[in-house]
Amino acid sequence: MNSLTGKVQRRGTFDGYEVAGWRYSDHPSWKVKVWLAECPRDWFGYTVTAGMFELKMFAHAQREAVLHAIGAWEAELVDAKVQKHPATTRGATPISTLCAFERRQGR
């Protein structure tokens, strides 16, 4: 994450597609580009918020690649936040740990 702007950038691959995306840490929407791995010039761009695409998407394989990548990126962000503020209870999952931390912070 870029600490000056709070901008998060990620890249990933899934099922023959490459996906690159970014979002600001305080905003839920990802701006993504997706393309077949061997055709980087033929990319499509989308804005995705909570799994919903801003524009109609017809390519199911692209949709799956984008949603898979965003899911992995969000999990990384949660894990990073949890590692920064470790759980005080045994057996806590990253999501429950994050929720507990945010409750303690009054969020």
Residue 58's pLDDT is: 80
Per-residue pLDDT tens digits for 55-90: 887 899 999 999 999 999 999 988 877 777 665 444
pTM of the model: 0.70
Give the domain ranges of the chain.
7-104
pLDDT at 56: 84
* Per-residue pLDDT tens over the stretch 27-45: 999 999 999 999 999 999 9
Q: What is the DSSP string of 12-48?
A: EEETTEEEEEEEETT--EEEEEEEETT-TTS-EEEEE
